[in-house]
Amino acid sequence: MSGTLAGKVALITGSTKGIGRAIARELAEAGAKVVVSSRTEADVARTARELDGSGSGAAHGIPCDVRDPEACRRLVEGTVERFGGLDILVNNAGLGRFATIQEMDPEDWDIQLRTNLDGVFHVSRAAVPHLVAGGGGWIFNIGSLAGRNAFSGGVAYNASKFGLRGMTEAMMLDLRDEGVRVTLIMPGSVNTHFFGSDPDPEGGWKLQAEDISRVVLDLLAFPDRALPSKVEIRPSRPPNE
Ligand SMILES: NC(=O)c1ccc[n+]([C@@H]2O[C@H](COP(=O)([O-])OP(=O)(O)OC[C@H]3O[C@@H](n4cnc5c(N)ncnc54)[C@H](OP(=O)(O)O)[C@@H]3O)[C@@H](O)[C@H]2O)c1
């Protein structure tokens, strides 16, 4: 087996589409064994089939709704059982439902906080003992510039991503003495399924999912002594409003 990540095992949540899928594909192409996951079983099976053998790595699918702590535990244990350990965790699963405080539906509030914030806690909590045991593990949390810049209509999304920023910094401090690096990646607009439809053909000015996977792959090449703990990335030329 060849590739810069040969022998590494990676788990990516929300990896049937968009940013998560691009990260899973590039990790597999670099030789890692990857576990792909989302809530939708058929998408998980198809994505694992498509990525298995797409490079020198391997892919396996395990469905998981990250809102469910027990499913998160099974996801991590299933990964370790299948590939013998865990080196890289990418907490990517997330969604956005945008409405003002006056109009935000409590169910939409709940799904965003439980997916974008609680989900990261559940999966990370299950994964940390394995990342520590392997030595040199890495957690990437996919945050957002919305974790720093609030906007009208972002009451739930901003809350989840501001929360994730604080949580990620605390995790980084908890884990660095254990040899596990933790990084928050904060993208601006990325052309994915995030806004409820297929990627926008007019969205060439936006970041592409591959721009975010490139950040992950580049960071993984840093020497052990270096911990790039936060990356902001935005479109270079947004249209003038
Ligand atoms: N697109 C942007 O402009 C942008 C900007 C900054 C940050 N981000 C962040 O990037 C991450 C990925 O978003 P994306 O743009 O790639 O969106 P996307 O194309 O809609 O993909 C989201 C993925 O997450 C999965 N997912 C959603 N809810 C889940 C749950 N409860 N449990 C497990 N998987 C779940 C989806 O599959 P199922 O629905 O089948 O479960 C899908 O695979 C999110 O955390 C988002 O907040 C996006």
Confidence band, pLDDT 50/70/90 cuts, at residue 202? confident
* Span 167-187, average pLDDT: 98
User: Ligand 1: does its nearest atom lie under 6 Å from the Cβ of 232?
Assistant: no
Would the pTM of this model clear 0.95, i.e. be above it? yes
Q: Is the pLDDT of residue 95 over 90?
A: yes
Residues whose CB falls within 8 Å of the CB of residue 20, separated by 6 or more in sequence, listed in order: 12, 13, 14, 36, 38, 90, 92, 93, 142
CB of 95 within 6 A of ligand 1: the answer is yes
- Average of per-residue pLDDT across 180-208: 93
- DSSP bridge partners of 231: 185
Backbone angles phi, psi at 91, to 5 degrees: -85, 95
4 in a domain, yes or no?
Answer: no
Q: State which residues form the domain around 206.
A: 9-233
What spacing in Å lies between the alpha carbon of 116 and ligand 1's midpoint? 9
218 Cα–ligand 1 center, Å: 22
Q: What is the pLDDT of residues 138-164, one digit of tens each?
A: 999 999 999 999 999 999 999 999 999
**51 domain-assigned:** yes
Q: Would you say residue 238 lies in a domain?
A: no
Q: 203 CA distance to ligand 1 centroid (A)?
A: 17
* Interval between CA 1 and ligand 1 midpoint (Å): 31
CATH code of the domain in which 58 resides? 3.40.50.720
| 239 assigned to some structural domain | no
* pLDDT tens digits, 215-235: 999 999 999 999 999 999 999
